[in-house]
């Protein structure tokens, strides 16, 4: 889990892309190819507790994993709340 404080949603997605790129291009062992999927959400006033924030990020991560390897998905409700 990465908490990017004081970061706009678009910048957080960009951070996830940069991390994804670094992970996939980092040599580990002789033949291991790494991928990374991310679920991204943002804090919005009135959208609940830290537990619900983590739950939304986890739900977005599940969507990313269901979409295949090396995916980033944004919490579908976050755009309407911001």
Tokens 């960009």 -> residue: 14
**Domain 9-81: which CATH number of 3.40.720.10, 3.30.70.270, 3.40.50.970, 1.20.1050.10:** 3.30.70.270
**Statement: the pTM of the whole predicted model exceeds 0.85:** no
Q: So where are the chain's domains?
A: 9-81
Name the residue with higher pLDDT: 46 or 2: 2
pLDDT digits (tens, 9 = 90+) for 35-51: 899 999 988 777 788 89
d(CA 41, CA 2): 11
Backbone dihedral region of 68: left (phi > 0), alpha (psi from -120 to 50 degrees) or beta?
left
């Amino acid at each position: 889990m990465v908490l990017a404080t004081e970061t706009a949603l678009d910048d957080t997605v960009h951070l996830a892309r940069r991390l994804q790129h670094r992970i996939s291009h980092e040599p580990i062992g002789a033949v291991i190819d790494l991928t990374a999927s991310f679920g991204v959400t943002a804090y919005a006033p009135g959208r609940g507790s830290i537990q619900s924030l983590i739950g939304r990020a986890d739900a977005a991560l599940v969507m990313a994993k269901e979409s295949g390897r090396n995916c980033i998905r944004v919490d579908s409700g976050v755009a309407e709340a911001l």
